[in-house]
Amino acid sequence: MLKFLVRRTLTMVATALVLTFVVFWLTNLPPNLEKLAKSEASARMTDAEVESWLERNGHAQPLLKRYGEWLGVAPGWTWEAADGTVSGRCIPRGTPPEEAARFCGVLQGNWGLSTVFKQPVSDIIATRLGLTGILMFWVMVLMVPSALLLGVLSGMREGSRLDRGLSTISIASTATPEYVSGVVLIVVFSSSLVGLRWFKGTAASAMDGITFENFFLPVLTIALYGMGYIARMTRASMAEVMTQQYIRTARLKGAGFGRVVMRHALRNALIAPFTVIMLQFPWLLNGVVIVETLFNYKGFGWTLVQAAGNNDIDLLLGCSVVAVVVVLVTQAMSDIGYVLLNPRIRVS
């Protein structure tokens, strides 16, 4: 077990390094840097001025060196101006350079400063991720049980009228992207057009306090999209289990249909969808982008949009680190959980 975890962790670290490097490279392409210089200093800079600004701010160094600095494994850059003042990556404005640390990267807890929000990236991500976490939690609470129910009900009698009806629902819900279902839901449940006005069309107030009224629509929008997918997987798994010989054994023991489904089929049918459910976590993280923007809920997805739209390099990098970690951790969890659920699987 320990050996497996260590090996698994090492692979994850290596994957994380590669992925963050790719993102770092893409966000630090020359045009991005030029834009950064113009937005930070002056929009009317000449090309020569841009170059010298980049040089003064450590952006002219080789890519690997910059990545190392950002990560915190290479010493931060320093720049001695003509007047003798020393500035550098690790030297906050107004402190003497002697007191500054040599390394200041992600590993040291220094995630950089957001150029849009004028706040440390780590603070922004912590608050925003918290908000999105709440959203994701409620989405899972709604999505997983209803998807499993839908899948089990339609898979237990493959080809029946119930199956066809429920399958149509789940296919329709997966086939409708959030930006369609979200808009439709807002129109139906919160606009004067239909006049139901049951829920609020914006979740901005949910950031201060969640109520059923202000939070249900964004949760439902995401849940609907993911639900159909999990339900289809569960259905396939359930339908396969129902053809197994041990189900026949149970039937010919004299067990009724309900008992066959509940006692014999259910646990076996849930092994396969478990992986799919774990895969939903990273997907949710990206999936919230649209819904958070649509409902003006300022969570992780909304932050990502802001960062990307405003060439906020440090914030974008911070967001991608979080996304990479979430993907890798949920993957490892799904592998381990799969082994624990299924007594027959052994990882080698």
Residues of the shown chain interacting with other proteins in the complex, contacts defined by CB under 8 A:
1-5, 244-246, 248-256, 259, 263-264, 267-268, 271, 336, 339-340, 342-348
Cβ proximity to other proteins: between 56 and 157 the closer is: 157
Quote the least distance from Cβ 346 to other proteins, whole Å.
6
**Closer CB to other proteins, residue 233 or residue 270?**
270
CB of 343 to other proteins, least distance (A): 5
CB atoms within 10 A of CB 85: 10
119 vs 160 by CB, closer to other proteins: 160
If one counts every other C-beta atom within 10 angstroms of the C-beta of residue 320, the result is: 19
Question: Cβ of 10: how many Cβ atoms within 10 Å?
Answer: 10
The least distance separating other proteins from the CB of residue 142, rounded to whole angstroms, comes to 27
C-alpha 49/C-alpha 38 separation (Å) is 10
Write down how long the chain is. 348
Q: Which is nearer to other proteins, 118 or 346 (CB)?
A: 346
- Cβ closest to other proteins, residue 97 vs residue 159: 159
Nearer to other proteins, 46 or 245 (CB): 245
C-beta of 340: minimal distance to other proteins in Å? 8
DSSP 78: E
Please say which residue, 167 or 181, places its beta carbon nearer to other proteins: 167
Residue 176, helix vs strand vs coil: coil
In the chain, the amino acid numbered 316 is L
Record the tokens describing residue 194, joined without a space: 């239909």
What minimum distance in Å lies between the beta carbon of 158 and other proteins? Answer: 10
CA distance 254 to 168: 33
Output the CA torsion sign for 147, 148, 149, 152.
Answer: positive
Q: Which amino acid, 105?
A: G
Three-class SS state of 86: strand
Taking the complex as a whole, the smallest distance from the CB of residue 328 to other proteins amounts, in Å, to: 17
Provide the token pair at 164: 């066809």
Q: How far is the CB of 246 from other proteins (least distance, A)?
A: 4
The encoded tokens of residue 189 equal 């449940």
Query: Which one, 35 or 251, has the nearer CB to other proteins?
Result: 251
Identify the DSSP state of 107.
G
The pair phi, psi for residue 79, each rounded to 5°, is -140, 125
As measured in angstroms, the least distance from the Cβ of 266 to other proteins is 9
List, in order, residues 6 or more apart from 45 with CB less than 8 Å away: 37, 38, 53
- Give the burial class of 52: count Cβ atoms within 10 A of its Cβ; 0-12 exposed, 13-18 middle, 19 or more buried: middle
